[in-house]
């Protein structure tokens, strides 16, 4: 074989190899964080949620902000009326803030069998009252089998099931299981001489 033919074939092989390498072989994208899907049209900040009601087989509770304190602390109106001073404000406010910032990692569309997600009947229903008077109903279901997430549905979107972090829903269950009362201080003992 002639040196020129060998060189031409080698050049052609390099060009074809480069084309296949750069244009035909898919590149592996770098792993990225999953995109979070907001459940609401806007994020509700700390003082946007002025009340929320929790209803489940374990009980029911209704919390509302009061205008009697400068920081608009939470009070419990049901099942037992509790003043802001009697409530653990951090627990109640933490539950409300998590709900206002709720995002989903995945959405299941056209879900017909809600019982498979624990949504029929629901494990818990939460109704948020927004400062503009709007009410948002969240229907929560069972724990998902992966990633510490839970199934949830918006009352206004019956065909969609969202997977949200369990922490937000678990905080609501905790408010029913262990009422958010301010802990009783331990007695102090003084030593007598």
Short-list 123, 115, 144, 116, CA closest to 59:
123
Higher pLDDT, 123 or 110: 123
Q: What is the pLDDT of residues 77-93, one digit of tens each?
A: 999 999 999 999 999 99
Q: For residue 12, what are the CA distances in angstroms to 4, 19, 20, 32, 142?
A: 12, 11, 12, 37, 60
Q: Yes or no: say if 53 and 44 are a contact pair by the CB < 8 Å rule.
A: no
Domain count, the chain: 1
The 10s digit of each residue's pLDDT in 149-184 is 999 999 888 889 999 999 999 999 999 999 999 987
Identify whether 132 is part of a domain.
yes
Is residue 117 helix, strand or coil? helix
Strands of the chain (E only): list them: 37-38, 49-56, 59-65, 74-78, 103-104, 106-108, 124-130, 135-143, 149-154, 161-165
Print the domain residue range for 63.
Answer: 37-177
3-state secondary structure of 84: helix
pLDDT at residue 33 in the model:
47
- Residues 23-43: pLDDT tens digits? 666 544 333 345 889 999 888
* pLDDT, mean over the chain: 86
Cα separation, 60 vs 179, whole angstroms: 11
- Confirm whether 189 is domain-assigned: no
Report yes or no on 22 lying in a domain: no
Strand bridging mode 59-65 / 49-56: antiparallel
Is residue 144 in some structural domain?
Answer: yes
Q: Which two tokens stand for residue 64?
A: 């509302």
Among 26-35, 107-116, 134-143, 153-162, where is mean pLDDT lowest? Answer: 26-35
> Quick check: is 51 in a domain?
yes
Q: Is 94 part of a structural domain of the chain?
A: yes
Query: Does residue 165 lie in a domain region?
Result: yes
């Amino acid at each position: 074989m002639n040196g020129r033919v060998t060189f031409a074939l080698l050049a052609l092989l390099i060009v074809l190899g480069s084309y296949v390498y750069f244009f035909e072989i898919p590149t592996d994208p770098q792993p990225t964080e999953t995109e979070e899907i907001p459940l609401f049209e806007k994020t509700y900040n700390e003082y946007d949620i002025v009340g929320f009601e929790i209803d489940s087989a374990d009980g029911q509770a209704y919390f509302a902000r009061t205008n009697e304190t400068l920081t608009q602390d939470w009070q419990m109106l049901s099942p037992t009326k509790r003043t802001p001073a009697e409530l653990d404000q951090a627990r109640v406010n933490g539950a409300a803030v998590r709900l206002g910032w709720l995002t989903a990692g995945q959405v299941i569309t056209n879900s017909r069998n809600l019982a498979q997600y624990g949504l029929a009947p629901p494990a818990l229903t939460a109704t948020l009252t927004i400062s503009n008077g709007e009410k948002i109903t969240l229907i929560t279901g069972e724990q998902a089998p992966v990633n510490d997430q839970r199934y949830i549905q918006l009352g206004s979107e019956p065909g969609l099931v969202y997977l949200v972090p369990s922490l937000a829903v678990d905080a609501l269950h905790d408010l029913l299981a262990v009422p958010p009362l301010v802990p009783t201080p331990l007695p102090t003992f003084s030593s007598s001489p």
